[in-house]
A and B are shown apart, each in its own frame.
Chain A
Amino acid sequence: MDRIAGIINLDHEQDMLDELTYFRCGAAVPFAGRYRMIDFAISNMTNSRIESVAVFARRKYRSLMDHLEQGKAWDLDRKRGGLFILPPDWNDPTDISRGDLQHFHNNIDFINRTLADYIVISGSQHICNIDYQDVLQEHKESGADVTVIYKKVDEMYSEHERAHKLDIDGNNRVTNIHNDRSSHNVYMDMYIIDKEFLYNLIEKCIAHGCSNFFLDGIKGKLPNIHINAYEYHGTHALINSVESYYRNSAKLLNASEHDDLFKEDAPIYTKVKNEAPSNYTQSSHVTNTMVANGCVIEGEVEDSILFRGVKVGEGAVIKNSIIMQRCEIEEGAVLENVILDKDCTISSGKTLIGAPEKPYVLAKRRSM
């Protein structure tokens, strides 16, 4: 059996979600009613029989560590392998590595010691349900040094503009990597690479003063290295702004998108909160809404997502909104096109309405 180890590299992910990323990195942002963004990246790895996962974290990772704990939720509390949350080491005066190469350099032991022959490296912004064993098969068949994963998107949105795109020839070989808006081949910030090849490339990059492993080490080496392209066909969302967060959250209310992301044979795991089932009272009226456990709903909720432990008072109305953990919407309050971060309270009778294209975001623990 081929062994794969995983690295989730958060180093170059910008915290672009405004209020939602004031105090946490993008990977720790709550998503889809009970998850955090990073749950998808980790679950994809464990569902692909990856038993050793390193998370390269640099900024605002307090919330992330609280969420990940020892990796138990993903079955990563192991004696062999398991979960490693690895911030950079700032204490080595001889260290000349820069950018995310500092992570690779400081944590080279993770790569050295793993029994795996292949490493999957991914970010946390591309929400999908992917089997890396399939990617590995194709990678091996192609004989490539690196296989990058991409999604051919039907419609280009603002979030795709910032992403890298791939030019691919008839043999699935990547000929160019760029930011050109005309290409729909969105690079998903995921690739699989042979361990030895990765190790040598890291050394070279550091010796040459590079600061971004993917851009300098892989993109920059084209066409001298063989980069194979793997097309991912499943449901996909790229979340790198409030707008893309809001629009892609709403997509989950669509049954086929939902079922393609939450597969029975490849579940998405997350930290368990032991909440009771959600309680709908006689006065509740809920339609087209995703509800996590522990909610008590007495009011009206439409086209929305409620995270765990949300309370909606009698006569309150919530439309097109995302309400995060433990928020309290008191009697008669009205919310429309709103994202409430955790622990917010909206007192009775208050009204909060955002624009459909630009939701109103309330930061954590605010009251109105």
Chain B
Amino acid sequence: MKNKECVAMLLAGGQGTRLKSLTKQIAKPAVYFGGKYRIIDFPLSNCTNSGIDTVGVLTQYEPLILNDYIGIGDTWDLDRKFGGVSVLPPFMQSEGGGWYTGTANAIYRNLKFLNQYDPEHVLVLSGDHIYKMDYGAMLDYHKETDADVTISVIEVPWEEASRFGIMNADDNGKITEFDEKPEYPKSNLASMGVYIFRWDVLKQYLIDDAEKEDSSHDFGKDIIPALLNDYKKMMAYTFEGYWKDVGTVHSLWEANMDLLKKNPELDLSNSRWRIYSKNPNQPPQYIAPSASVKNALINEGCRIYGEVDTSVIFYGVHVSESSIVKDSVIMPDVKIGRNVTINRAIISKGSVIEDGAVIGDPSPDSEITLVADEGSVLATSYATN
């Protein structure tokens, strides 16, 4: 069998603790986004749309839902005879085994997986971001510049630069320095956590890193600095477009609200770059005579009898009469009773909101209220925050 030019490794083992109870039972990449998707749909759809048909998904934390969701990968057209999607959890070997101890370790432990495809390049992705990106164009740049490593970067506002891993590059795009969350950033080019490595280079550095006892086996902390240290050719590939880390409740809410803007930066309806997602097979949504819907994204299977304003509603949600949902994200199969008021909240999957409940704080800068715990029935006295 012919070898693969580029194989993707998607790091999907993160817990995403800052998403609080949203990730109590599921890994962060399985968190819902945009009325229909899970975060992992974005990198996987990007792979398919970029012509990358071999993806290893490294799982660790709460993998049940993620495993079930990925299945054989047919959702993203990744059910292939040679290649396709493979879920790669930690495993035991004759010489022992154990959890993945870091992002680099997770890939090091799956050298066998990569070896069977004998790729020329390896694309390393994380399952934490919402963006549409052509990895094929980045791979072309990586090959044209004959780089050992190409790191995708995005311009972030200067005042926020100290929250990111910042790449300092020369005029030709060659990376000279890497500062993880610098207090005084020298550039505003943030790493997006998207890397393309020449496989022979990556393999050597992973093997070397595995032998270092003081290493945290992390791409950002260990592998990238080691490569820089050795003056390997590292190029910055500037990405232009929407890219968002949805690592906190607030940023997840904000990213959903971004979709409701006029001509949103992230266009989900472009048929040439579809974001694929598992289909829940529900009938079309129904908007009742008593309903009022303004500035909203609504998915199939919803039945809206109340008022929905500036909100993202996932599939199978019922909003009963005289209830108001405003500036909120309602995840799948939530049942909202009558006379309920929801403001600036994220309601997680399967919640049942009893008649008369008041959730969230309508004032513009208030913290986003998170209602989690699947299947919970909220008493009418449910207080805000």
Contacts and interface: CB of A to CB of B under 8 A. Distances in A.
A284 B297 CA distance: 12
A34 B283 contact: yes
B269 A276 contact: yes
Interface stretch (A204-212, A214-222, A238-246, A261-269): A261-269
Interface residues of A, number: 35
Interface stretch (B150-158, B159-167, B168-176, B274-282): B274-282
Interface string A273-288: 0111111111010111
A287 B34 contact: no
19 contacts: A32-B283, A255-B286, A268-B281, A268-B283, A274-B277, A275-B269, A276-B36, A276-B268, A277-B298, A277-B313, A278-B285, A278-B297, A278-B298, A281-B294, A288-B288, A291-B287, A291-B298, A292-B284, A293-B284
Given A32-B283, A282-B294, 9 more contacts: A267-B282, A276-B268, A277-B299, A278-B298, A279-B297, A280-B293, A282-B295, A284-B294, A293-B36
A286 B286 contact: no
Interface string A286-330: 111111111010000000011000000000000000000000000
Nearest to B74: A72
B184 to A, nearest CB: 41
A287 B287 contact: yes
Determine the main DSSP class of A at the interface with B: loop
B296 interface: yes
Interface of A: 32-34, 72, 253, 255, 258, 262, 267-270, 272, 274-282, 284, 286-294, 296, 305-306
A317 to B, nearest CB: 15
Nearest to A293: B300
Nearest to B303: A255
B289 A287 contact: yes
Contacts of B66: none
Contacts of A268: 281, 283
A267 B298 contact: no
Contacts of B284: 32-34, 290-293, 305-306
For chain B, give the interface size range.
35 or more
Nearest to A282: B295
A296 B300 contact: no
B315 to A, nearest CB: 8
Interface string B301-324: 001000010001110000000000
A262 B315 CA distance: 14
B40 interface: no
B13 interface: no
Contact of A280 (B274, B289, B296): B296
A281 B295 contact: yes
B172 to A, nearest CB: 39
Contacts of A253: 286
B300 A284 contact: no
A262 B283 contact: yes
Contacts of A280: 293-298, 308
Contacts of A305: 284
Given A289-B287, A291-B284, A277 B36 contact: yes
B35 interface: yes
Given A292-B300, A293-B299, A33 B283 contact: yes
